[in-house]
Amino acid sequence: MEVINPFKLCSGLKFLGYFMILLVFAIVAVSYDAVVVLTWGPKLLMGGFHSFLAFSIIILFHVLLLLLSWSYFMVLLEDPGSVPANWILANEADNMEVGSSSLPEHGATGDATYSSSDGAGRRPTAYCRQCQNGKPPRCHHCSVCQRCVLKMDHHCIWVVNCVGARNYKFFLLFLLYTFLETTMDTLVLLPSFIKFFDEAKSHSGSPANLVILFLAFVLNLAFALSLLCFVVMHASLLLSNTTSIEVHEKRRAVQWKYDLGKKKNFEQVFGTKAALWLFPLFSKEDLEKIPALRGLEFPIRSDMES
């Protein structure tokens, strides 16, 4: 009798992800209507300081929305990193050159390990039974995507994609700009939210407009508060060169071997070009010189090299 793999059911989460994309667009539309159309757009015609303030808020709103959307679509469309099909073959060829190799030992969890001697000592390499391929360091199999992902952090249903080595920077920027946008929306809608109760009692405002203002304020406040926790958490992970999956593994280690210092850890994700840090882009030079951005090799602390 064939054993059913329950993890294959996780692939159904992709359909939920498509709904989440529509939800993102809906929240952006409601926020745009409340901030630009209903609240601050009309104040552009008032003249004086009110017009200047309204103009500044609307410009900042659109700049953050542009950066947010750019980062979002980069996370959505960019491959987080896949293991090359010949990754095992390449390693076996290297093993044959040094004269020793061993086959993977399959475990009950679906992964197996084998060790190969490369002249500098024995180096453990993981093997994925589902993908029938080797697993580079920090690589994990995603039960939703049904494939191995390089330096996998997590599968994000908001973008219907995994967050891994090649799109983690874009995900962090998406988090940051969404937090800034929702925080700004909350602050600029606060006066209208307070005024909402007076207008609701006196029935002086349009019911549809009142609902949009109320809904936009509550949604942006809720997202700003929740995203603050995620921004702080991922900032901590970024500066310690850790993924969400590796948190428990790091706690068991006396020293985390991938922790190269805050500056180096930051550059392992954002690159060395400061001019591109705030944009979902990498320079060609960084992609060539920083192996971690490609997701197959990662430098470790010099005091932990064997």
Catalytic residue positions? 156
**Angstrom distance (rounded) from CA 257 to CA 280:** 27
Sheet holding 122-128, edge to edge: 105-106, 111-117, 122-128, 133-135
Nearest to 81 by CA among 142, 7, 18: 142
Matching residue, tokens 């995620």 = 230
Helices (H), 137-239: 168-202, 207-239
Helices 13-32 and 168-202: crossing angle in degrees, nearest 10, is 50
For residue 44, give the 3-state DSSP assignment: helix
Task: List the Cα angle 70/72/75 in 5-degree steps.
Answer: 110
**Angstrom distance (rounded) from CA 43 to CA 50:** 6
